Chain A
Amino acid sequence: MEFFIKLKNLDRRWVFLCVAASVVLPMLLKFDFPVFPGKSVTNLFKFVETLPEGTRCFLSFDYDPASEPELGPSAIAILAHMFRRNIKPLCGANWPLGGEMAESALDTAAKIYTSTYDEMKAAGKLAPGCKPKLVKGEDYVNLGYKPGAVIHVKALVADFMGPYPADRDGNSTKEMAVFKSPDGHKFEIKDVGIIVSFTAGTGGIEAFINVAGDHKRPMAAGCTSVNIPRFITYLQTGQLVGMTGGLPGAAEYETLIEYMGKGREGMAPQSIAHLIIMLFIIVGNIAYIAEQRIAKKNKA
């Protein structure tokens, strides 16, 4: 009993040490946990699968380096999946550093695509039109950051090419192959197959949901773990076709595209850390109950 009482007053630095160990050790030992994709991630994956080849999709990178560890992996996984389906991502950003985030995600996703091209081709998992190498401006484009959030999205609905005369590097979008339509019509928001926003806080997917009545495109989100309860409402109402929540969401998407990325790597430390926290809660409660009993005994 006395031991539990002592435990209750455990210095919080011990707690910190245990949490640090639970994160660092699995990282060093490289555990791998089997990941089973959940419904919301599978829905998004299936939706991307059903998009016809050559569909242009709008991906909005609404996060900054602080949320990169959580949102980057899912962005990379979704981009890699799109490349394998020969779907052309158009990347934009509602956050000032989003363009930079998009650039690095595109880079990594393109590398994943090229390095697994032969293997995937042999397995028959690539869309028929896939080429061994991706070309910027033809297979994808990074349009960079534009301010305004909802106002910017409204502008895109009115005229998609209006806010984007040039891409992030200053190349004119007018002549870009990715914006060309077979029947020659000017690229519009209705040509977008799905809008995906990687949202760290405000001005992300909600900016698109607010004007959903105007753009009428299917939407999906990647969000940080702490925001899952906030955005799950949109899943329930069907305003989002799917969602990848935090690092586990990324890990699930990586499982679906058969790739071992940062998401899946992060599952071991996260699992162990969750277990450690649960353990602490249980220990704390045992100590609490022990204390109650002693108090009762003393009274009696």
Chain B
Amino acid sequence: MLFIKRTLPLIITFITGIIMIVAFFSGPALPSVKALEDTFPKWIQIIMSFTMLLGAFSLLRINLNKISRKVEGWGYSMTLIIGFLTMAVLGFLSGSWPMFEPQVNVGDKYWLVAEDSMSDRHVTVVASSLDEEGNSVVDVVADPVAGQEAADAKVVERAPAYRLKGTFMAWINSVQQVLFVGVFKSAQATMFSLLAFFVASASFRAFRVKSKEAGLLMGAAFIVMLGNVPIGNLVSRVLAYIPIIGPSLDIALIKEWILTYPSSAAQSAILVGAMLGYISASMKIIFGVERSHLGGEG
């Protein structure tokens, strides 16, 4: 048991680590080794996608458990399960199912879903062919829509055949898009924009001039904040009236200087340190010095 839990992972880590290092430094004379540099990340992606199942099971189990025990706030768990199942089912249905889709017939009417899946329109297929990669493509003409010029509607357009849908599938697609764009993306944007509020509250609470250094930091922060927006230029113009030093107080220029030199230098220094940490941590993992991620101190 200990072998499977500890020793085997260490052996696998060591071997793959060494292979990756060799692949990184190998020259063009070893194409098969060099290719591993590209192949390995793909394998990782495949393995990672299998672990998605783990997550889904964990999520369902915990929330179903909460519902069955009627713990406080089980309604949220219910919402989660419904949302999870709805999106999963719609996602499966609106995907590409070539075996269930009817043969595309020239002259028939279909719904052509836009590339971004956001909208669809009624079209008539005028020709069907295969493109260079062997995928089926169709030439379609948009059906006239009331109020639109007929001349514009007769333009022949080429589109991949998988974007043609029957009425039912077009409906499924629309519902999924409404949920995806209307709910999911909007909720995402809302969460992201919370950042603006939190920046304000964090700076109000935490930005205190407790020392000279903090004072310098605040000065720099004000200059960068002003310099980043047009108001900085207005401030510069006002400052220009100050005799002698006034004209050299260009907020935008000072901001650029702060970002290009002190800030950039500090960032590079942090990066150098972090990268060394990266290399040394990777080495420790490859050589099995650091093994606490396998559980326990080792």
A193 is an interface residue with CB less than 8 A from chain B: no
In the complex, which range does the number of interface residues on chain A fall in?
35 or more
A169→B256 contact, CB < 8 A: no
For A15, what are the chain B residues with a Cβ–Cβ distance below 8 Å?
Answer: 197, 200-201, 204
From B131, B221, B231, B259, A170 is in contact (CB under 8 Å) with B131
CB neighbors of A among B180-205 (8 A) = 185, 188-189, 192, 196-197, 199-201, 203-205
CB neighbors of B among A147-184 (8 A) = 151, 165-166, 168-172, 174
Chain A residue with the shortest CB-CB distance to B118: A100
B264→A99 contact, CB < 8 A: no
Chain A residue with the shortest CB-CB distance to B135: A170
A169→B192 contact, CB < 8 A: no
In the complex, which range does the number of interface residues on chain B fall in?
35 or more
For A285, what are the chain B residues with a Cβ–Cβ distance below 8 Å?
Answer: 207-209, 218
B208→A284 contact, CB < 8 A: yes
From B38, B159, B188, B200, A169 is in contact (CB under 8 Å) with B159
CB neighbors of B among A134-153 (8 A) = 151
Chain B residue with the shortest CB-CB distance to A168: B115
B208→A165 contact, CB < 8 A: no
Q: Which residues of B contact A (CB under 8 A)?
A: 38, 115-116, 131-133, 135, 137, 157-160, 185, 188-189, 192, 196-197, 199-201, 203-205, 207-210, 218, 221-222, 225-226, 228-231, 233-234, 252, 256, 259-261, 263-264, 267-268
The 8 closest A-B pairs by CB, nearest first: A33-B230, A280-B204, A271-B229, A271-B231, A12-B201, A100-B116, A16-B197, A19-B200
A236-B261, A288-B208 known; 14 other A-B pairs, CB under 8 Å? A15-B200, A35-B230, A100-B115, A100-B116, A169-B158, A171-B158, A232-B260, A248-B229, A271-B231, A274-B228, A274-B231, A277-B203, A280-B204, A283-B204
A-B contact pairs, 10 of them (CB 8 A): A100-B115, A103-B115, A165-B132, A165-B133, A228-B259, A229-B259, A232-B264, A270-B228, A274-B228, A285-B207
